């Protein structure tokens, strides 16, 4: 339902929509103080930015969103005054926080760092009518409710993983997903670049990894891979949206594409055929061969050189074909290679069964009912200093079916409707884990059953915004009954952006 105000001109009563309430955004802001008259964007509005290249880029990003739908010029200027102002200032904003002040003379977004300005822009977008996202001129009015929002994230790590190995997705498709993530203040893009079904990044020292190992995908399609320039473009584009790319090379299991590409990586020197199925746990690098570690060093070295971000993910899950002794030996030898190349280790939570190096992060993907001993192992590592990223599969995995009738996805972790995906607290999810060990959350999207951008949309939305909120918003704002109303209000925006989504019966969607 859209709130409206009314006024009379002669014999005609004209209605106009009220501005979106300041608190009706996702993720929920930390503090909202509504009050005062709204600001209206008109043909006279300008966007005022600090005279720095980064500030100009954020201002142009905002203008590029607003110009097509409003039809206004919205020039960027450096001097102060009315309009929309983006400014850096000292304050207690943190690395990503911001304040948004709106009144009749304008909107001011203030932050201590550029990431905060960018996140403030995402809030401003959501305070405008959904039609602002369209690429042709729309009817206004373009109003922002009066008042103040003060906001900063609960967790520093707020991620989404896209599996490009089971099915390959183009640079353009990845960029589109980045734009969707940015709208909800996600700041980490985890790219699953290698698996049994495909190797997706060019490595100069081992060229067949991409040209042969990347030549297929689940179901036997043609696959594909990113050249180094492709990958650099993904990294650049993500950085322009204040996301950091976290590349993953899964090991010692999930390695059939590599083993098929180079026979010498196999213990018996015989290359297996390329694999296009969906089974897991059958492949392993040869832990006893020195060549294995030269291979790992080469791959990690080249990938680290391409990646300006802090992290490099080494997988480590479902290594059923590697003995526990060999798994520990492998991880003890590989982790120092990652740190040698200047990156922080991330691995799936099975790394806690080995010896996580100082500073390493373990990504938990277990279930609510995962074996207590496994959870205790993770908790013990957390107590000893290993940070945790939470991705419980029966809560956060975006490839799980919503219901038995969902045409895409899997159900090995259960059916995950929108409420279940949202209704848990990262701060107390794992018993025995100190809250200080939780670095954040991540929403993985595995693609065994996903082949198109529309498939990504349908499985990510509407669950992705809720997981973004778990990472950003204070625990005090966590409430399903109020969240589902805010979530429903996002639907017209997704329609305007061309995002196909699942219309869950748990959410009070507006009529189309």
403: which 2 tokens?
Answer: 């219901």
How large a percentage of the chain has pLDDT more than 90?
96
pLDDT in tens, 54-90: 999 999 999 999 999 999 999 999 987 899 999 999 9
pLDDT in tens, 90-116: 989 999 999 999 999 999 999 999 999
pLDDT in tens, 433-479: 999 999 999 999 999 999 999 999 999 999 999 999 999 999 999 99
Q: Is there a contact between 487 and 184 (Cβ–Cβ < 8 Å)?
A: no
**Whole-structure pTM value:** 0.96
CB atoms within 10 A of CB 508: 12
Could you give the 3-state DSSP secondary structure of residue 84? strand
Write down all domains in the chain, each with its CATH number in brackets.
Answer: 18-151 (3.30.379.10), 157-476+490-497 (3.20.20.80)
Element at 3 (helix H, strand E): none
Considering 96, 318, 325, 448, which one is annotated as catalytic?
A: 318
With 50 as the cut, is the pLDDT of residue 11 above it?
A: no
What mean pLDDT, rounded, does the chain reach? 96
pLDDT in tens, 318-334: 999 999 999 999 999 99
Q: How far is CA 1 from CA 29, 105, 145, 352, in A?
A: 22, 28, 17, 49
What confidence tier does 350 reach under pLDDT thresholds 50, 70, 90? very high
Element at 457 (helix H, strand E): helix 453-460
What confidence tier does 16 reach under pLDDT thresholds 50, 70, 90? low
Bridge partners of 13? 8
More confident residue, 247 or 15: 247
| Burial of 489 from C-beta contacts in 10 A (0-12 / 13-18 / 19+) | buried
With 70 as the cut, is the pLDDT of residue 312 above it?
A: yes
pLDDT at residue number 34: 98
What confidence tier does 17 reach under pLDDT thresholds 50, 70, 90? confident
Block residue for tokens 């990938």:
303
pLDDT in tens, 469-506: 999 999 999 999 999 999 999 999 999 999 999 999 99
Q: Distance between CA 197 and CA 215 in Å, rounded? A: 9
Q: Residue range 405-410: average pLDDT?
A: 98
With 60 as the cut, is the pLDDT of residue 3 above it?
A: no
Q: Distance between CA 55 and CA 63 in Å, rounded? A: 12
pLDDT at residue number 9: 41
Q: Is there a contact between 470 and 391 (Cβ–Cβ < 8 Å)?
A: no
In this structure, is the dihedral angle defined by the CA atoms of residues 69, 72, 73 and 76, taken in order, positive or negative? negative
Q: Residue range 254-268: average pLDDT?
A: 98
With 90 as the cut, is the pLDDT of residue 389 above it?
A: yes
pLDDT at residue number 15: 56
What 8-state DSSP symbol labels residue 243? -
With 80 as the cut, is the pLDDT of residue 4 above it?
A: no
| Burial of 134 from C-beta contacts in 10 A (0-12 / 13-18 / 19+) | middle
Q: How far is CA 218 from CA 104, 111, 194, 450, in A?
A: 55, 45, 13, 10
Q: Residue range 244-255: average pLDDT?
A: 98
CB atoms within 10 A of CB 407: 8
CA-angle at 320, arms to 314 and 324, nearest 5°: 80
pLDDT in tens, 170-216: 999 999 999 999 999 999 999 999 999 999 999 999 999 999 999 99
Q: Residue range 2-12: average pLDDT?
A: 44
404 in active site: no
Element at 130 (helix H, strand E): none
Q: Is there a contact between 189 and 163 (Cβ–Cβ < 8 Å)?
A: no
Block residue for tokens 């030269």:
294
Q: Is there a contact between 166 and 39 (Cβ–Cβ < 8 Å)?
A: no
pLDDT at residue number 13: 47
Total H helices, total E strands in the chain: 15, 21
Q: Which residues contact 486 (CB under 8 A, 6 or more apart)?
A: 23, 24, 25, 26, 28
């Amino acid at each position: 339902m859209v709130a409206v105000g009314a006024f009379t001109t002669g014999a005609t009563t004209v209605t106009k929509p009220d501005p979106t309430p300041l608190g009706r955004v996702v993720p929920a802001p930390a503090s909202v103080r509504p009050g005062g008259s709204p600001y209206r964007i008109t043909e006279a509005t300008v966007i005022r930015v600090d005279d720095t290249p980064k500030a100009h880029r954020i201002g142009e990003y905002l203008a590029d969103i607003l110009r097509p739908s409003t039809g206004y010029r919205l020039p960027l200027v450096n001097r102060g005054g009315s309009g929309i102002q983006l400014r850096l200032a000292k304050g207690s904003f943190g690395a990503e926080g911001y304040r948004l002040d709106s009144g009749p003379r304008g909107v001011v977004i203030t932050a201590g760092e550029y990431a905060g300005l960018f996140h403030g822009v995402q809030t401003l977008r959501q305070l405008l009518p959904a039609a602002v996202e369209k690429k042709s001129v729309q009817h206004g009015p373009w109003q922002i409710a009066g008042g103040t929002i003060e906001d900063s994230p609960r967790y520093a790590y707020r991620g989404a993983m896209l599996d490009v190995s089971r099915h390959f997705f183009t640079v353009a498709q990845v960029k589109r997903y980045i734009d969707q993530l940015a709208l909800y203040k996600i700041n980490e893009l985890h790219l699953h670049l290698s698996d049994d079904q495909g190797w997706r990044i060019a490595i100069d020292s081992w060229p067949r990894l991409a040209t042969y190992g990347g030549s297929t995908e689940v179901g036997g399609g043609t696959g594909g891979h990113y050249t180094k320039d492709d990958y650099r473009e993904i990294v650049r584009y993500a950085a322009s949206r204040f996301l950091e790319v976290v590349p993953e090379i899964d090991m010692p299991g999930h390695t059939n594409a590599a083993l098929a590409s180079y026979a010498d990586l196999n213990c018996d020197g015989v290359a297996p055929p390329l694999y296009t199925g969906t089974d897991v746990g059958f492949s392993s690098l040869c832990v006893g061969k020195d060549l294995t570690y030269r291979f790992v060093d080469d791959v990690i070295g080249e990938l680290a050189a391409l990646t300006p971000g802090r992290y490099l993910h080494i997988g480590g899950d479902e290594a059923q074909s590697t003995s526990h002794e060999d798994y520990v030996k492998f991880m003890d030898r590989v982790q120092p290679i990652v740190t040698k190349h200047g990156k922080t280790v991330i691995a799936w939570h099975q790394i806690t069964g080995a010896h996580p190096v100082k500073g390493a992060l373990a990504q938990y993907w277990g279930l609510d009912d995962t074996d207590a001993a496994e959870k205790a192992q993770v908790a013990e590592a957390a107590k000893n200093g290993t940070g945790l990223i939470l991705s419980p599969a029966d809560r956060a995995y975006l490839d799980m079916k919503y219901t038995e009738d969902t045409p895409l996805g899997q159900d090995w972790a259960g059916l995950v409707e929108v409420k279940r995906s949202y209704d848990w607290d990262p701060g107390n999810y794992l018993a025995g884990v100190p809250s200080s060990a939780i670095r954040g959350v991540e929403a993985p999207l595995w693609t065994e059953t996903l082949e198109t951008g529309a498939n990504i949309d349908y499985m990510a939305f509407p669950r992705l915004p809720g997981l973004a909120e778990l990472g950003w918003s204070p625990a005090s704002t966590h409430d399903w009954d109020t969240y589902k109303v805010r979530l429903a209000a996002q639907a017209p925006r997704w329609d305007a952006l061309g995002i196909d989504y699942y219309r869950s019966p748990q959410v009070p969607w507006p009529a189309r």
